[in-house]
C-alpha cells in the first residue's frame, strides 16, 4: 500500500520525523494507507511556504481566484462518487452521507467561487463635504486550518474555500483519523491550478502539528473545529491571532403535544443516529411533552430496533461504525454513567463483537436534565429522552447545557414555534425538521461554549476569513476635521 506524503510548496515530500501512522477503515479495521507523522519542523516549512506564496496570491484578482475554485468545483463534481466512497471507507458514515459530505464541499466551492466577484464592502456618506468613505476586504495572511474527521471533505472546504477566495494562504492540518480524504481533496485543488505554496498540507498528530499552528507568530488566524477542550487550548496558545472556533453541541429536539409524531420520529432517528451520532449537530436529547411521551417512545423503540448496523458501503446499512476504539470506549463509558445516574436504558448500550467499531443505537428515558448523559457531548449514537410539561420547561431544559449549537422543535402551533425560535439559546433552530441539515450559504456556528461567536458558511464565512479596512478619501484639497468641522 502506498505511503502518502505531505504537501509543502507544491511538492509532496516525507516528514522530517521519519515516522508514519496508519489510517484505518472503522468498519473493517483494514488500513487505508500509511501517512506522514508531521512534526513542528514540517509545519514551520509549510508556514514559510504559505508566507512566500502570500504576496502573489493575495494580489491575484479575486475573480481569477474564483476561476480556480470553479475548476475545483467541476473536478469535485466529477469525482463525487469516488470521494464519497472514500469518505465512507475512511470515516465510516453510510454512503449516501459520504456523498452528502462531498456535495457539501461542492456547494461551498461553487458559493465561494462566485464570491470572487463580490467580496463586498460598504460605501456610506461622509459627515464632511468632498470626502468619500468605504470599507474594503483584505486577506488576513497565512491561516492555519485544523479540521475534524466527522466531515472529512465538507469541513475542510468550509475553511479552505473562503480562506482562498479572500486571498489568504493556508496551512492545513486534517484530523489524524481521515488523512486520505484531506489528501485527495487537496489534490483536486492542485489539479484545478492552485499555485504552489497557496495550500500546504501537513498530516500528523494535533499535539505537535496543531500546536505549532496555534503558536507560530507567522500565522495570523487559526480556524479550528473539534472538541471544546482543544478549542480552549488553541485559544490560549493563539494569543492575539484571530481564532475561529466551532466546538461541541448537546443539541435537543422538542416534541410538543400537538406535533406530527411521525415527522418528529424521522427527525429524532436522523438527528440521533445519522452519522452514528458523530456530528456536532447531532440530536442527543429529546425533550418530549408528557402527553405524547408514551406514544412517541413506542414508535421510537420500534423504529430503532429495525436499524441495521454495518459497513456504510453496503446498501442496506442504516448506521455505520464509530470512528475508532477510543470513541467506542467513550460511548460505552457514558452508557455506564447513565445507568449509574439512574436513567432508564431502554435500548442498545452494547458494543458489537467482531471487526469494526460498532455500537448499538442507545436510548435512555427518564433522564433528568442535569444528568451527565443529558449535559455532556458523547459524540455517539446515544439519545437521552427527557419528559417536559410545557414549552416553557422545554426551553429551560434546552438551555440548561453549556453548549448552544443546534436545536429543533416539532409543533403545529406557529406561536409556539416562534417562542422557541426566540427563547432557545443556540446558533441554529429548526422548526419541524431535525437538528441537522445546514446549507452552505447560511451561517453555521453556535453560542455559549460552542464557540467564540464566529460563524462559518455564507457571507459570515467570508467575514471570518477577511479583515475589513476602512478607507477615507478626502478630495476637498484642504484639511477637514471630522467631528470638529462638521458641526
Cα–Cα distance list, 278 to 14, 98, 153, 213, 405 (Å): 32, 13, 15, 25, 14
Stretch that binds ligand UN1, among 169-177, 276-284, 374-382, 479-487 (CB under 6 A): 276-284
Q: Between residues 151 and 224, which has the closer beta carbon with respect to ligand UN1? A: 151
Binding to ligand UN1 (CB under 6 A) within 450-469 occurs at none
Binding to ligand UN1 (CB under 6 A) within 136-155 occurs at 150-151
Annotated active-site residue in 97, 190, 212, 246: 246
Q: Between residues 104 and 212, which has the closer beta carbon with respect to ligand UN1? A: 104
**CA 330 – CA 421 distance, rounded (Å):** 32
Q: Least distance in Å: CB of 148 to ligand UN1?
A: 7
Cα–Cα distance list, 184 to 4, 82, 192, 232, 468 (Å): 11, 10, 13, 30, 33
> Quick check: 280 binds ligand UN1 (CB under 6 A)?
yes
Number of residues that bind ligand UN1 (CB under 6 A): 9
Q: Least distance in Å: CB of 230 to ligand UN1?
A: 14
Q: Between residues 151 and 359, which has the closer beta carbon with respect to ligand UN1? A: 151
Q: Which residue has the cell 442496506?
A: 316
**CA 308 – CA 321 distance, rounded (Å):** 11
Q: Between residues 212 and 456, which has the closer beta carbon with respect to ligand UN1? A: 456
Binding to ligand UN1 (CB under 6 A) within 151-180 occurs at 151
Q: Least distance in Å: CB of 108 to ligand UN1?
A: 10
Q: Between residues 195 and 437, which has the closer beta carbon with respect to ligand UN1? A: 437
Stretch that binds ligand UN1, among 7-15, 301-309, 436-444, 467-475 (CB under 6 A): 436-444
At 426 the three-state DSSP class reads coil
Q: Between residues 54 and 149, which has the closer beta carbon with respect to ligand UN1? A: 149
Is 280 marked active-site? yes
Cα–Cα distance list, 145 to 23, 52, 69, 158, 278 (Å): 20, 18, 18, 10, 20
Q: Least distance in Å: CB of 277 to ligand UN1?
A: 10
Q: Least distance in Å: CB of 46 to ligand UN1?
A: 25
Q: Decide: 237 and 81 in contact? Cβ < 8 Å.
A: no
> Quick check: 269 binds ligand UN1 (CB under 6 A)?
no
Report strand pairing: 6-8 vs 11-13.
Answer: antiparallel
Q: Least distance in Å: CB of 283 to ligand UN1?
A: 10
410's CB contacts (< 8 A; 6+ apart) are: 253, 254, 255, 256, 259, 260, 263, 264, 267, 432
**Sign of the C-alpha dihedral computed for residues 369, 371, 375 and 377 taken in this order:** negative
Stretch that binds ligand UN1, among 184-192, 415-423, 430-438, 446-454 (CB under 6 A): 430-438
- Give DSSP secondary structure letters for 396-420: HHHTTSSEESEEEEE-S-HHHHHHH
Annotated active-site residue in 190, 212, 280, 464: 280
Q: Decide: 447 and 475 in contact? Cβ < 8 Å.
A: no
> Quick check: 436 binds ligand UN1 (CB under 6 A)?
yes
Q: Least distance in Å: CB of 439 to ligand UN1?
A: 7
Q: Decide: 189 and 178 in contact? Cβ < 8 Å.
A: no
Q: Least distance in Å: CB of 236 to ligand UN1?
A: 23
Is 212 marked active-site? no
Binding to ligand UN1 (CB under 6 A) within 75-104 occurs at 104
**CA 163 – CA 175 distance, rounded (Å):** 19
Q: Decide: 313 and 85 in contact? Cβ < 8 Å.
A: yes
User: Looking at the chain, how many residues does it have?
Assistant: 487
Stretch that binds ligand UN1, among 262-270, 293-301, 415-423, 435-443 (CB under 6 A): 435-443
Q: Of 174, 186, 176, which is closest to residue 323 (Cα–Cα)?
A: 176
Q: Of 269, 294, 267, 272, which is closest to residue 387 (Cα–Cα)?
A: 294
In the list 58, 176, 223, 281, the residue contacting ligand UN1 (rule: CB under 6 A) is 281
Report strand pairing: 31-36 vs 428-431.
Answer: unpaired
Task: Considering only CA atoms, give the Rg of the chain.
Answer: 24
Q: Least distance in Å: CB of 438 to ligand UN1?
A: 3
Residues assigned a catalytic role: 246, 280
Q: Which spans of this chain sit near ligand UN1 (rule: CB under 6 A)?
A: 104, 150-151, 279-281, 436-438
Amino acid at each position: 500500500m502506498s505511503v502518502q506524503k505531505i504537501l509543502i510548496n507544491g511538492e509532496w515530500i516525507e516528514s522530517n520525523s521519519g515516522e508514519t501512522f496508519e489510517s484505518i477503515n472503522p468498519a473493517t479495521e483494514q488500513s487505508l494507507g500509511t501517512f506522514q507523522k508531521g512534526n513542528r519542523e514540517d509545519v514551520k516549512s509549510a508556514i514559510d511556504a504559505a508566507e512566500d506564496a502570500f504576496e502573489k496570491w493575495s494580489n491575484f484578482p479575486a475573480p481569477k481566484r474564483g476561476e480556480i475554485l470553479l475548476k475545483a468545483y467541476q473536478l469535485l463534481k466529477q469525482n463525487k462518487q469516488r470521494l464519497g466512497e472514500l469518505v465512507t471507507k475512511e470515516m465510516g458514515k453510510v454512503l449516501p452521507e459520504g456523498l452528502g459530505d462531498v456535495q457539501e464541499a461542492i456547494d461551498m466551492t461553487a458559493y465561494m467561487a462566485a464570491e470572487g466577484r463580490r467580496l463586498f464592502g460598504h460605501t456610506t456618506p461622509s459627515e464632511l463635504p468632498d470626502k468619500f468613505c468605504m470599507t474594503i476586504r483584505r486577506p488576513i495572511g497565512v491561516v492555519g486550518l485544523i479540521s475534524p474527521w466527522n466531515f472529512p471533505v465538507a469541513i475542510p472546504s468550509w475553511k479552505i474555500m473562503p480562506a482562498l477566495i479572500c486571498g489568504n494562504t493556508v496551512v492545513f492540518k486534517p484530523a489524524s483519523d481521515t488523512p486520505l480524504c484531506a489528501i485527495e481533496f487537496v489534490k483536486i485543488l492542485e489539479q484545478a491550478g492552485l499555485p504552489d505554496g497557496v495550500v500546504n498540507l501537513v498530516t500528523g498528530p494535533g499535539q505537535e502539528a496543531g500546536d505549532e499552528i496555534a503558536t507560530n507568530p507567522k500565522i495570523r488566524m487559526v480556524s479550528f473545529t473539534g472538541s471544546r477542550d482543544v478549542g480552549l487550548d488553541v485559544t490560549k496558545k493563539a494569543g492575539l491571532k484571530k481564532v475561529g472556533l466551532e466546538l461541541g453541541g448537546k443539541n435537543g429536539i422538542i416534541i410538543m403535544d400537538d406535533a406530527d409524531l411521525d415527522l418528529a420520529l424521522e427527525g429524532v432517528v436522523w438527528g440521533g443516529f445519522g452519522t452514528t451520532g458523530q456530528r456536532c449537530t447531532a440530536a442527543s436529547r429529546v425533550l418530549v411533552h408528557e402527553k405524547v411521551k408514551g406514544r412517541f417512545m413506542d414508535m421510537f423503540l420500534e423504529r430503532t430496533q429495525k436499524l441495521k448496523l454495518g459497513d456504510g458501503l453496503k446498501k442496506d446499512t442504516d448506521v455505520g461504525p464509530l470512528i475508532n476504539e477510543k470513541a467506542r470506549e467513550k460511548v460505552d463509558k457514558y452508557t455506564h454513567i447513565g445507568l449509574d445516574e439512574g436513567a432508564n436504558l431502554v435500548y442498545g448500550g452494547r458494543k458489537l463483537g467482531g471487526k469494526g467499531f460498532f455500537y448499538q443505537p442507545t436510548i435512555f428515558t427518564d433522564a433528568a436534565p442535569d444528568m451527565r448523559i443529558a449535559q455532556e457531548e458523547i459524540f455517539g449514537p446515544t439519545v437521552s429522552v427527557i419528559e417536559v410539561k410545557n414549552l416553557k420547561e422545554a426551553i429551560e431544559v434546552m438551555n440548561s447545557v453549556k453548549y448552544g449549537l443546534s436545536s429543533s422543535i416539532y409543533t403545529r402551533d406557529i406561536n409556539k414555534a416562534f417562542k422557541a425560535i426566540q427563547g432557545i439559546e443556540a446558533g441554529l433552530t429548526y422548526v419541524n425538521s431535525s437538528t441537522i441539515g445546514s446549507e452552505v450559504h447560511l451561517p453555521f456556528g453556535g453560542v455559549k461554549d460552542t464557540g467564540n461567536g464566529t460563524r462559518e458558511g455564507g457571507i459570515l464565512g467570508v467575514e471570518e476569513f477577511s479583515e475589513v479596512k476602512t478607507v477615507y478619501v478626502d478630495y476637498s484639497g484642504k484639511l477637514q476635521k471630522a467631528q470638529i468641522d462638521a458641526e
